[in-house]
Structure 1
Amino acid sequence: MLDENLTEKRQDPLTGEKEENPITGETGPGTGLKDLLPLPAENAQDIFQSKKAFDKAAGSLEDGHTLSHALATEDHKLKGAAQLESEKEVRNLGWNEPKQEIAAPLVGGIDNEELWLLVRRFNKQIIHTKAVVTPVPGGLDLNTAEEEEFSPDKMRANIERFYMSVVVGILAAVKHIARLRSWREKERTAWFAGVYFTAWLFDFVMPLITGVIIALIVHPPTRELMFPPAPIALVDTNTGGVQKPWAGTLGSKDSATGAPENHKGEAVEQEADNLVNGLAELAVSSAAGKHPAGDVHDKTKKPMELAMWAKLRPFMQVVGNIGDNCERLANALSPTPPFPKDTHRLRLATLVIPLFGASLFVTSYMFVKSLTFGFGFGMFGDPIIQHGMDYLNRVIPDWQKLLELRNTLLKGVPTNAQLTLTLLRIGEANKAPLPPPPRVVEQPVQDPANHPPTLDSEAQMRLEGAAYPMNASPSELDEAAHVDPKDGLREAGFDVDSHSKNKQTKKSNKVLGWVKNVTAGLVHTGGATDHVRAKLGSHHAKERLDIVPPKDEVPVSGPVKFDCRFDGKKGHCYVSTTATIPSIAFATGKDDEGTTVIAGKEREDIKPVWTVAVADIVELKKVGGYGWKAKIVVDWSMEREVKDGLEIITTEGKTFKITAVPLRDELFNRLVAMGGQRWEAW
């Protein structure tokens, strides 16, 4: 039986202990003895009863009732620049500075590049949030709502996340297997083969497999020892040897193409983006090839459209759930501070240890007999199964949801979005908002004359982590290092020379350029017309003012002042934390120097148009001045990023919609991380 004194001395109402955990040696939220067990939380049955309110509403970050709030506000042993104490109202850690000028690390235990990778993907994934008053599954908020709205943007984000979280991981595993089977790394493969066949000889294969799994979970150095990493794009899936990356150069380690990148993870993100673009192009091309006479008396069109849209939301949720669980599993195996280092790994191991013990005594005969009995029971035991299901539904409502991975085995383990929110809350708790990911306009360097490819030496291969350059000969390395993207595609079996896009003539390019210029002119004319219509009182025209920025404009607002418009009026939103109650306000006044007045200084000559307490915000929604189709046209023709808006809804039901916000995502992130709300993603 667990020591009751240890389990009662909690650091917060949800999880954690003040004393050191005797098993993991950790302290802080989420490290208690009970947290080692894959059991639902004590209040788990209340989680899915939406009409039952929580004990009290959370107004401030310190009052938040989730593990994320507790981790963000505790005193961390490993500290970065955003966790240092300061007497300033808000510290600017480099919001408008190049990444070389930003302090590193911003958060202790995580590299800035990794932090910015998480924030970039958070900005694209989280579009709409609502505050909930019920307990949250797994002790972490920002879970996806059951009634999540469907939109093309969300569908795209989920498919891209599925590629980055699942597809790339599967590809890396396949290439690891190819390396082992190739016998190019003879010593490593010989060890694997020798141990496996020895275990097979003594009927010890299952204990071997489960034992290796336990070692990989509990002792991370075992992973690189058994599976030394190598750039994904460099490994040939068929031969297990060295291949030329599809991009023609090795500019990234975790991408399928090896394309160059300015920041960590950008190449994979671009691959995911191009994947969705390709699927959309294929769908449009297929639709364009339909029979022209099929629309006249087609009675199946409307029903099929309704059925398709009805099924797309569940499909989107399935894809999202798979991505969530893959991210949770990755974060359990390789946790990021401030989340516990060992607790979640040991919980995973507790699931495998009984299997290891059973495998020592269960014979192959017993295993086959059990398997065939289970198959037979599933086929013919339906009356018993249905009776048991009815009993569970009657005694424990929503028992299926209580057994979800996020409430049991992966309880307290964050998705990447939940991890990012916790990191953002750390900055807000210390009045040091995390700087946004640096904006890089230029393309990644890939000039072979002045900047040779990274794959140029045995030392570089060692740096990448591969085993003695995968036993590749110098000629193989030289061939792989030669820069020609078409060569890499040719070796993969693509007929790049006959591809239609490579046969475009100068005439077609001129026509496309002419169309682009005409479209840009129409967009510019429409923008000028909006100014006239806005003065005449058009609401929609007011919302479109200044959403297309001047060419090469670099936004420089934040972290307190954010340039924007409200009801067509130009001004700024400022976030104040000096007052007892943190708030956001919109003002149009300017000081003597002509710059907009920001929070932190009370000025009698400035009267905000409106002010909203952060604790009173119940909904945040990113909105666009243009529809998604028009936005694509503007982005393409003007070669500029449209400035979108943000909708803020309060507890009183009031809605404040600000538009033309250059740093819309950054303002959203500050508001979603400042208070004690328990958010749900919609």
Structure 2
Amino acid sequence: MSADEEANQNGSTSGQNTIASKLTDILPVPPNTQPVSEPEKRETANSLTEEPTLSHALATDDHEEKGLAQQEHDEEVIDLGWNEKKEEISGPLVGGLGNEDLWLLVRRFNKQVYHVKEVPTTVPGDLDLNIADEEEFSPDKLRANVERLYMTVVVGLLAAVKHIARLRSWRETRRTASFCAVYFLAWALDLVVPTLTLTLITLIVYPRSRDILFPPAPLALVDSKTGGIQKPKAGVLGSTESSTGAPQNYKGEAVEQEASNFFNGITSIVVTSATGKNPQAAPSTESGSPDDAVPDPTSVTVAAAEAKDVAAGGKASPKHDKTKVPVETAMWTKMRPIMHGVADVSDTWERFANALSPTPPFPRDIYRLRLASLILPLFLISLFVTSYMFMKGVTFGVGFGFFGDPIISRGLKWLNHTFPNWQKLLELRNTILKGVPTNAQLTLTLLRIGEANKAPIPPPPSTSEPPPEKPTEITDNELRATGAEPPLNATDEEIQQAMEHDPRTAHETGGSDIDAAKGSKHGKKGSKIIGFFKGTTKGAVKTAIGTDHARAKVGSHHAKNRLGAVPRSDDSRISGPVDFQGRYKGQKGHVYITTKSTIPAVSFSTDSTIEKIGSVEREDLHPLWTIAINDIAELKKVGGYGWKAKIVVGWSMGREVADGLEITDRLGNVRRVTALPMRDELFNRLVAIGGQKWEAW
């Protein structure tokens, strides 16, 4: 008997008793009605094997295609290359997924997920790590969400725009002619809507059709106006998935750097606007002028804006400006829902992308069939509905929505009274996109695969060397045309010339006014002043770090938490996957995870011999504290310094600050480990190793 037949006979729930697909998996119905029928019911699991969600079930399933992290082994915890270079890892860590793609997901997961809490109730869509409705706001998290929006939505929309430009340009004549002929034939037969819906169904169900109808091309190589070939904005085609074509050491780094600079560019424009920077209206200067003696005021925001108002004859005192406090309060109050909205847009985009192109171990066909089943009725209806009937229906709906408030409000009141939380059942993640992960949920599932097989996923490798300024290798997977036409209607020589490095291209702008506004010239004396302040700040920082040691000895709690936050060398990075160097209340030691014992736990010990623990359980370490893995209720990344001090340390000393991690158990006891060079890696192990259902805060 096949797995599908057995699942249908037993009536088991997907993600709980079996991974086999059923009819209910394909239909867009909620996996269960518990959020409405029993919203307060609590369900907790003590291990991955209890499979409280689809993510846990997939992690513990026996996969057909296996990578290094899914192989059987005799060791308690196997090290798959936590401190090795990527070239020294022989095969894929997870079956069906390249290591570069895996590390890309983990790298972005580290930037996105800061704080998680255990969820005892049913999670929507049978997947945990959803964003909490009352998610905490912070400027750093807002930045992460905007960068994520760029990497998903903005880059995706830009790719769509360039595909349309290619199609409209008639450069790939046969493909455009085919599209044109089919469209006008459908128009002549009044079958435009059926043709479009049938094409959409084909693109969803048959992935190969996407490359046939829309052949790939490097994003930076396509001109969005002409649809032809162009020189990448970076001056060289060093990456194929980024909008600038910038070189990269690892897959996805160029897009991540673009996202960071996208946010920096927005803030830079806002700052220069707030400070009233107008280089075109400024008088010409010469060496020794006041402009040459001071740094660019756009390095500060509020203070510079107030200084600009004073220079223009305004009043700097808050007593004269009664709008400042309420406007600032309103702006900051609205930041959390704005940030949450940005995250929701990115989540939905990622879910649709993962539904159309699933990543193992998630099912390959279920989500595509579900999306196609929703469009199929539209295709059938469009064969019989005339344009007159369609417009009649639309205008009736507009009128009912405008004038039908008495009926609509009473209906909503009845629903809220009869079925509380009914909205949760209709959410996309609970119906059309149920079981479809965001990239964060996908990454968590991949991390759980490693933990389920006692083979933790190694962290993404890093390098201090800049990427080479040379073109990347292009194959048919990155640049292709439909049929025998040349890609982008360009010769091999034209493509090669566009790919070659040209250092001038990256600095080209739209005119002299943009050059003047974009430039931030400090002047010789201004640069000396900045260098002077940097030197004095570095001395002050070193003094403060030394003072912390003295204050910690006399019992200062805050000083103890700051000890070791600025590591003296990078040797402390070499640790994991079992033990992680850190401090607890200022004491040097190691956090270590034991899974061989009856109750897996995380502990902290100051025993110096812990470095030899390896994968063997040690009973003589005498930990200062121990928390059972199943008792962890909350994990929160915390800074080694405050955000202002962290910026000053990074600017003046050019050193990375080692941050910390707060671990809270179900009784409310909080353990704060500081000076953790591998904070993200420890967080990832703890968040993936147990049976908890998490919610992102």
TM-score, structure 2 as length reference: 0.90
CA distance in 1, matches of 2:72, 2:169: 54
**CA–CA distance in 2 between the matches of 1:620 and 1:576?**
18
Aligned to 1:199: 186
In the alignment, what sits opposite 1:449?
none
- CA–CA separation in structure 2 for the residues paired with 1:633 and 1:48: 51
Quote the residue 2:41 is aligned against. Answer: 52
CA distance in 2, matches of 1:174, 1:193: 18
Decide whether the 8 Å contact of 2:239 with 2:472 is kept in 1. no
1:324 aligns with 2:347: yes
Aligned to 2:139: 152
**1:571·1:596 contact (CA, 8 Å) conserved in 2?**
no
Q: Pick from 122, 127, 137: which aligns with 2:109?
A: 122
State the Cα distance separating 1:461 from its structure 2 match. Answer: 6.2
Does residue 412 (structure 1) correspond to residue 435 (structure 2)? The answer is: yes
CA contact (8 A) 1:81 1:104 kept: yes
**Deviation string for 1:161-211 (max 9, x for gaps)?**
111110110000001000111111111111111111111111111111000
Q: Distance in 2 between matches of 1:438 and 1:17?
A: 37
CA contact (8 A) 1:14 1:65 kept: no
Q: Is this contact kept in 1: 2:35–2:425, CA < 8 A?
A: yes
Deviation track 1:265-315 (CA, whole Å, cap 9, x = no partner) reads 111111111122222333444143342314233222222222122211111
1:401 is aligned with what amino acid?
Answer: K
The 8 Å contact of residues 119 and 692 in structure 2, kept in 1 or not, is answered as yes
Q: Distance in 2 between matches of 1:300 and 1:428?
A: 54
Q: Does 1:289 align with 2:305?
A: yes
Q: Hey, what does 2:451 align to over in structure 1?
A: 428
1:614 correspondence with 2:625 = no
Matched, 1:34 2:35: no
CA contact (8 A) 2:572 2:581 kept: no
Unaligned runs of 5+ in 2: 275-301
CA 1:422–1:113 in 2, change beyond 3 Å: closer, same or farther?
same
Please say if residues 246 and 486 of structure 1, whose CA atoms lie closer than 8 Å, have aligned partners that are also in contact: no
- Residue equivalent to 1:178: 165
Out of 328, 332, 346, which is 2:369 matched to? Answer: 346
The residue that corresponds to 1:261 in the other structure is: 248
The one-letter code sitting in structure 2 at the alignment partner of 1:327 is E
In 1: Cα distance, 2:560 partner to 2:442 partner: 37
Is the 8 Å Cα contact of residues 486 and 496 (structure 1) preserved in structure 2?
no
Aligned twin of 2:498: 480
- Following the alignment from structure 1 to structure 2, what is the Cα–Cα distance between the partners of residues 620 and 9? 38
In 1, Cα distance between equivalents of 2:102 and 2:510: 34
Q: Which amino acid aligns with 1:641?
A: E
Task: Give matches, 1:597-612, under 5 Å.
Answer: 597=613, 600-604=616-620, 606-612=621-627
Give the secondary structure class of the aligned counterpart of 1:130: strand
Aligned-CA RMSD value: 2.2
> Is contact 1:574–1:598 with CA below 8 Å preserved after alignment?
no
1:546 aligns with 2:564: yes
The answer to whether 1:111 aligns with 2:111 is no
Residue 233 (structure 1) aligns with:
220
Amino acid in the other structure paired with 2:23: L
Q: Distance in 2 between matches of 1:494 and 1:233?
A: 24
Distance 2:11 2:84 in 1: 41
Alpha-carbon distance in 2 for matches of 1:522, 1:252: 42
CA contact (8 A) 1:248 1:486 kept: yes
Query: What is the aligned partner in structure 2 of residue 465 from structure 1?
Result: 479
Deviations 1:461-488, CA, capped at 9 Å, x for gaps: 6452232231124564354234234325
2:277 corresponds in structure 1 to none
Separation (CA, whole Å) in 1 of partners of 2:37 and 2:546: 51
Change (3 A) 1:494 1:329: farther
Partner letter of residue 604 of structure 2?
F
- Offset at 1:377? 1.3
| 3-state SS, counterpart of residue 104 of structure 2 | helix
- The residue matched to 2:508 in structure 1 has which SS? helix
Number of matched pairs: 654
Counterparts of 1:342 and 1:555 in 2: how far apart (Å)? 41
- Match for residue 650 of structure 2? 635
Partner in structure 1 of residue 296 of structure 2: none
TM-score with structure 1 length normalisation?
0.92
1:494 shift after superposition: 8.0
Name structure 1 gaps, 5 residues minimum.
19-27, 447-451
Cα drift, residue 653 of structure 1: 1.2
Aligned to 2:466: 443
Match of 1:401 among 419, 424, 432: 424
- 2:33 is matched with 43
Match of 1:23 in 2: none
Shift of 1:398: 1.6
Seen in structure 2, the aligned counterparts of structure 1 residues 502 and 598 have a Cα distance that, compared at 3 Å, is: same
The whole-number CA distance in structure 1 between the counterparts of 2:468 and 2:114 is 32
Counterparts of 2:378 and 2:440, CA distance in 1: 32
Cα deviation 1:391-445 (Å, max 9, x = unaligned): 2212221222211100000000000000000000000000000000002111111
Q: 1:500 to 1:315 in 2, by over 3 A?
A: closer
Letter paired with 2:391: V
3-state DSSP of counterpart to 2:436:
coil
For residue 656 of structure 1, give the secondary structure of its aligned residue in structure 2. strand
